[in-house]
A and B are shown apart, each in its own frame.
Chain A
Amino acid sequence: MILFRQALRFTSRLPFICGRCRTYSAQVGSVERVISAFRSVSGDEGVSVGSAVREQHGRDESVHICRPPDVVVFPRSVEEVSALAKICHHHQLPMIPFGTGTGLEGGVGALKGGVCFSLRKMEQVLDLHQEDFDVTVEPGVTRKGLNSYLRDTGLWFPVDPGADASLCGMAATSASGTNAVRYGTMRENVLNLEVVLADGTVLHTAGKGRRPRKTSAGYNLTNLFVGSEGTLGIITKATLRLYGIPESMVSAVCSFPSVQSAVDSTVQILQAGVSIARIEFLDDVMINACNRFNNLSYAVTPTLFLEFHGSSKSMQEQVSITEEITRDNGGSDFAWAEDEETRGRLWKARHDAWYAALALRPGCKAYSTDVCVPISRLPQIIVETKEDLIRNNITGPIAGHVGDGNFHCLIVLDPNDPDEVQRVHSFTERLARRALAMDGTCTGEHGIGLGKRALLREEVGPSAIEVMLEHRRR
């Protein structure tokens, strides 16, 4: 399939410079005809063909080059989305949903031109049900925006990918965050979706307005769309599961002599049933970068950053159980804090990891890998990956959600050095295949996007791909 071969185009272009503005392709005679139809649905301000606007909607925060759509529309309601989709369907125009443009895999690139549906004008928080712990949001609502809205209720939505992403976009990419180990990812936390299909049909995946905490009614359409990355429909509403803000949060840091001892501690902490919410792993290269960036003096060895959520009475006990486990595994310099400011300082190293990595080589760009393996295989894959990095002279500090077996190499590279770009590309392919060989996945959180389509075929196998394509064809 043509689309899969395009996945390997990463090497030949300079990935960070936005390509020259796409001139209208042969298809687009039809785009010009439909623009007035679009305007009659969304008004003049709701349709844009300006080159700056199109370029803005052709890129996200990944390394993939900008692939602008032919036109950007700004619908204000699901009725408008449906009407616009019908027009696109009639003229066979590709449709690309756009939330906040903070994806990391080039998902918004308009490979064949088409119409970008920018959903930012639909930004209402609808239907909050505090006692039922659920809320429905439109695509323009971001995760930080929702948590700010909820701040007086004692509830929060804990899935926290790095960016302040659109919640519906997070549903589309099945996003995850640092506290997935306790609260799960989007797959576990979306109760219902309102989706506009390619022909304009408005679908409620669990039934209109329904929000039971569990159901066994029919096929699980909700989770079919979670992670579909905009290929099956445009998400216009998401009903999300909320959690109570924990009474107390305690953060801790601990250094380890080896990756193995850090991961062993992680497994034992999970087995001990400690109320852990975040376990983050930073390797020695990353700690070194963080020390230099933030003027800190952590020991330059594999380090775990932990956070516990629970009642204030139980915190003391949780922390001492954990400290004992880390000590038994050779851990040292265990430090912990409960108040917000000291916690902030402890975690600053982890939060600034991306920028600390970039600061290692000023003027370069960063690309994050995203494999996930069963936890028991983590030490082996990290050790082999580090050897690969050193052998190929690649700057790749490692940060990971070790509680899920998911880690990122924050590769810092010079986009103008074709040899380095090629080395990095081969490295990421080897890394993904290494993860697949260990019963893992080539993408734990970021999605397949443009760059991993060939890997998806290797991961799920040709029969699964056929089933997926069948769904998409319909």
Chain B
Amino acid sequence: MSARVLVGVKRVIDYAVKIRVKPDRTGVVTDGVKHSMNPFCEIAVEEAVKLKEKKLVKEVVAVSCGPQQVQETIRTALAMGADRGIHVEVSGKDYETLGPLQVSKILAALAKKEQADLIILGKQAIDDDCNQTGQMTAALLDWPQGTFASEVNIEADKLKVVREIDGGLETIKINLPAVVTADLRLNTPRYATLPNIMKAKKKKIANVKPADLGVDVSSRLEVLKVDEPPQRQAGVKVETVHDLVGKLKEAGRI
């Protein structure tokens, strides 16, 4: 099979970090905070590499959009087994307002340019929780989509995808080329080993600008403010059931 897989990877604040809102309430603190690859993107990379190990695809290309630092994220994907990377340079204000619509336009343009047969993305990013990029990319390319995938199999020239849905599991068969978004149970991503990290340093990362792909990254959304969730108030102890009922009535709960 001569298939080429495009995997999108996003650099986000590490899941273990305690998020703090900036004092000016325009966003969250990112300076000096640990960043890593979005966990669902890790699962996407792992799936692509597994497909390559099963010899069902020939090449895995990792893509990330952002400033210089996203190269670290691409290197992690290379250390996990991707063959080469593409860094789409977006920085400054453009990067702060970069969202699913612009990214999906970029991915669609890259898919055509690289003649990709399959795009695998994480189902959503843990910073914005949008869950839109995969679906938008498929729509722009007019490709079928298998989202929330917990199992992916290539059968002949079709893709069998088991999707996690509210009611349970749904199995669909879609034509290639297609877009798949990875859900939590699709696989367990491998840790990048030190020897593989060393090897990854030699793999190529190409630099591309959105303008080269004919994509306008200006945003139609404006973030007005960012607030922390309200502080949890301490509870109140009451002495009797009578008092409890009284307090509940006061609060309008009963």
Contact = CB atoms under 8 A, between A and B. Distances in A.
Binding partners A and B: yes
Interface of A: 145, 148-149, 151-156, 244-247, 311, 340-341
B240 interface: no
A145 B16 contact: yes
Interface string B101-145: 000000000000000000000000000000000000000000000
Contact of B16 (A148, A153, A246): A148
A152 B192 contact: yes
Nearest to A248: B193
A151 B191 contact: yes
Among A145, A153, A311, residue most surrounded by chain B Cβ atoms (within 10 Å) = A153
A246 B192 contact: no
Interface in B24-82: 34, 36-37, 72, 76, 79
Contact of B194 (A149, A155, A340, A341): A155
B195 interface: yes
A218 B191 CA distance: 39
Interface centre among A154, A244, A246, A247, by most B CB within 10 Å?
A: A154
Contact of A154 (B14, B34, B72, B197): B197
Q: Which range contains the number of B residues in contact with the other chain?
A: 10 to 19
B190 interface: yes
Contacts of B193: 154, 244-247
B207 interface: no
Contacts of A149: 14, 16, 34
A383 B134 CA distance: 60
B75 to A, nearest CB: 9
A154 B190 contact: no
B190 A340 contact: yes
Contacts of A145: 16
A156 B197 CA distance: 14
11 contacts: A151-B191, A152-B37, A152-B72, A152-B76, A244-B194, A245-B192, A245-B194, A247-B194, A247-B195, A340-B188, A341-B188
Contacts of B175: none
A246 B195 CA distance: 8
Nearest to B200: A154
A433 B39 CA distance: 50
A248 to B, nearest CB: 8
A260 B89 CA distance: 63
CB-CB nearest 5 A-B residue pairs:
A244-B194, A154-B194, A154-B197, A245-B193, A247-B195
Nearest to A344: B188
Nearest to B192: A154
B153 interface: no
Interface in B180-214: 188, 190-197
A141 to B, nearest CB: 10
B101 to A, nearest CB: 29
Contacts of B192: 151-154, 245
Most buried by A among B14, B16, B76, B193: B193
A35 to B, nearest CB: 19
Contacts of B37: 152
A245 B191 CA distance: 8
A154 B78 CA distance: 13
A245 B192 CA distance: 8
A152 B194 contact: no
Contacts of A246: 193
A145 B196 CA distance: 22
B190 to A, nearest CB: 7
Contacts of A245: 191-194
A3 B119 CA distance: 66
A313 to B, nearest CB: 11
Given A340-B188, A340-B190, A152 B195 contact: no
Nearest to A340: B188
Contact of A156 (B14, B34, B190, B191): B191
Interface string B158-173: 0000000000000000
Contacts of B14: 149
Contacts of B194: 154-155, 244-245, 247
Contacts of A247: 193-196
A238 B36 CA distance: 24
A154 B188 contact: no
B107 to A, nearest CB: 23
Contacts of A152: 36-37, 72, 76, 192
Contacts of A151: 36, 191-192
A132 B92 CA distance: 34
Contacts of B34: 149
A340 to B, nearest CB: 6
A245 B76 CA distance: 14
Residue in A152, A156, A245 with the greatest tally of chain B CB atoms within 10 Å: A152
Contacts of B196: 154, 247
Contacts of A154: 79, 191-197
Q: Which of A145, A149, A311, A341 has the most CB of B within 10 A?
A: A149
A151 B194 CA distance: 10
Contacts of A244: 193-195
Contacts of A156: 191
A148 B14 CA distance: 10
